[in-house]
Amino acid sequence: MKRFYSSFQFVPLLPALFLLMLMYPGCSDARPQPSSERAELARKQARLRLKASAKKRAVTVPLTPEQKRREAEQKRAIRLQNREMLAMHPRWRPGHVDALWERTLDEDAPVTREALQRAAKLRTVLQRLQNQLGKPYVWGGKTPVEGFDCSGLVFYAYNAVLERKLPRTANEMYQANHLKAVRKDKLRNGDLVFFNINQRPGADHVGVYLGDDKFIEAPRTGLKIRISQLSDNFWQSHYLGARRILSDDAAL
């Protein structure tokens, strides 16, 4: 036993601790942080909280009168579109609130499902027409790919929403019995306006009335689809008449 103890090598305590710190360096960091470091960390966290709070309290700049007007028009258009979609539902019935709805086709007509359905169809027609602005006139054309002549443009825009389709030419549209004649002082959006330009019997040109004395047309070879002024002397001197496609007898 005495021989065993004499052969055992005792390692001094301090060098042993030093060896442990070299083998496990993470142990050297396991010490309390100084108060200055904790204070700096607390300040950083406070700054982050203030920045987040400032974003939530972003200052709202008051709208200008023009911005308010545009915002009101956008909301009005969205409401009208929603109401038109609602009118398509088979269970929709007019009610008290419906009396406040916008009368897209006729300000004096009562709000009914039929009136709102006409408004939805007219919106589609006018959008299809507007999408063709600036495209060149093509005689005989009736599609966006090949181009349009005057009656082809009307044929394309309206037949997408009609059960009873329009005929192809301007004079056939003008003579169609199922279209209602409209006086010039009673024109409203979507009415067809007809002209006699070449002095031959019947209508040889047609456009779609847009309101405010304007109509959209595919004029002739060399020109592009455009919006024209109905009150111009040229159109007044060649004006033949108007027809209503999306009509209700009470509004004529």
Active site residues: 150, 205, 217
Q: What is d(CA 124, CA 37) in angstroms, rounded to the nearest whole number?
A: 67
Q: What is d(CA 61, CA 65) in angstroms, rounded to the nearest whole number?
A: 13
Closest among 185, 221, 190 to 207, alpha carbons compared: 190
Which segments within the chain are labelled E, that is strand?
142-143, 147-148, 180-182, 192-195, 205-211, 214-217, 226-229, 239-244
DSSP string, 19-86: HHHHH-GGGGG-SPPPHHHHHHHHHHHHHHHHHHHHHHTPPPPPPPHHHHHHHHHHHHHHHHHHHHHH
Take residue 161 and report the two structure tokens written for it.
């929403």
Backbone angles phi, psi at 90, to 5 degrees: -65, -20
